Protein backbone atom coordinates (compact mmCIF):
# COMPACT_ATOMS: atom_id res chain seq x y z
CA UNK A 1 0.00 0.00 0.00
CA UNK A 2 1.95 2.98 -1.34
CA UNK A 3 0.72 6.44 -0.45
CA UNK A 4 1.77 9.63 -2.17
CA UNK A 5 2.99 11.84 0.67
CA UNK A 6 5.42 14.05 -1.24
CA UNK A 7 4.08 17.30 0.23
CA UNK A 8 3.79 15.88 3.73
CA UNK A 9 7.38 14.59 3.64
CA UNK A 10 8.82 17.63 5.42
CA UNK A 11 10.89 15.60 7.93
CA UNK A 12 13.90 15.88 5.63
CA UNK A 13 13.96 19.65 5.15
CA UNK A 14 16.30 19.44 2.15
CA UNK A 15 14.14 16.97 0.23
CA UNK A 16 12.95 18.63 -2.99
CA UNK A 17 9.19 18.92 -3.44
CA UNK A 18 9.60 19.70 -7.16
CA UNK A 19 12.18 19.38 -9.93
CA UNK A 20 12.81 21.43 -13.05
CA UNK A 21 14.86 20.01 -15.91
CA UNK A 22 16.27 23.09 -17.64
CA UNK A 23 18.98 21.37 -19.65
CA UNK A 24 19.09 22.98 -23.06
CA UNK A 25 17.33 26.14 -21.84
CA UNK A 26 19.34 29.32 -22.42
CA UNK A 27 19.82 32.32 -20.14
CA UNK A 28 17.81 34.21 -19.00
CA UNK A 29 14.91 31.80 -19.59
CA UNK A 30 16.30 29.19 -17.20
CA UNK A 31 16.38 31.77 -14.39
CA UNK A 32 12.88 33.03 -15.24
CA UNK A 33 11.48 29.49 -15.17
CA UNK A 34 13.30 28.80 -11.88
CA UNK A 35 11.96 32.01 -10.32
CA UNK A 36 8.40 31.30 -11.43
CA UNK A 37 8.55 27.75 -10.05
CA UNK A 38 9.96 29.00 -6.72
CA UNK A 39 7.00 31.39 -6.47
CA UNK A 40 4.64 28.37 -6.48
CA UNK A 41 6.38 26.79 -3.49
CA UNK A 42 5.83 27.59 0.17
CA UNK A 43 8.57 29.17 2.25
CA UNK A 44 11.15 26.57 3.26
CA UNK A 45 10.31 24.12 0.47
CA UNK A 46 13.15 22.95 -1.77
CA UNK A 47 13.31 22.96 -5.57
CA UNK A 48 15.73 20.78 -7.54
CA UNK A 49 16.90 22.31 -10.82
CA UNK A 50 18.97 20.62 -13.54
CA UNK A 51 21.18 23.12 -15.36
CA UNK A 52 23.77 22.94 -18.11
CA UNK A 53 27.44 23.73 -17.57
CA UNK A 54 28.66 27.21 -18.49
CA UNK A 55 26.45 30.29 -18.18
CA UNK A 56 23.45 28.48 -16.63
CA UNK A 57 25.36 27.05 -13.65
CA UNK A 58 27.22 30.35 -13.19
CA UNK A 59 24.20 32.66 -13.48
CA UNK A 60 21.11 30.89 -12.12
CA UNK A 61 22.40 30.14 -8.57
CA UNK A 62 23.73 33.69 -8.24
CA UNK A 63 20.45 35.15 -9.52
CA UNK A 64 18.24 33.15 -7.14
CA UNK A 65 20.47 34.16 -4.23
CA UNK A 66 20.07 37.79 -5.34
CA UNK A 67 16.30 37.17 -5.08
CA UNK A 68 16.82 36.13 -1.45
CA UNK A 69 16.59 32.34 -1.81
CA UNK A 70 19.16 29.85 -0.48
CA UNK A 71 21.26 27.58 -2.71
CA UNK A 72 21.74 24.45 -0.60
CA UNK A 73 23.95 22.47 -2.97
CA UNK A 74 25.30 22.09 -6.49
CA UNK A 75 26.33 18.65 -7.69
CA UNK A 76 27.54 17.42 -11.04
CA UNK A 77 25.17 14.93 -12.69
CA UNK A 78 26.47 13.57 -16.01
CA UNK A 79 26.84 16.61 -18.30
CA UNK A 80 24.69 18.86 -16.09
CA UNK A 81 24.36 20.13 -12.52
CA UNK A 82 21.63 19.54 -9.95
CA UNK A 83 21.07 22.62 -7.81
CA UNK A 84 18.92 22.49 -4.68
CA UNK A 85 17.28 25.82 -3.83
CA UNK A 86 15.27 26.59 -0.69
CA UNK A 87 12.51 29.11 -1.15
CA UNK A 88 12.76 31.98 1.28
CA UNK A 89 10.13 34.59 2.00
CA UNK A 90 10.36 37.46 -0.46
CA UNK A 91 8.95 40.95 -0.15
DSSP code of 54? T
Alpha-carbon distance of 38 to 79, in angstroms, equals 24
Q: So which residues are the catalytic ones?
A: 27
In terms of DSSP H, where are the helices of 8-90? 29-40, 55-66
Neighbours of 46 (CB within 10 A): 22
Amino acid sequence: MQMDTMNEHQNESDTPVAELDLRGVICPYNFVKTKLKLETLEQGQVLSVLLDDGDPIRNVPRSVENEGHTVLSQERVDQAYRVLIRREESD
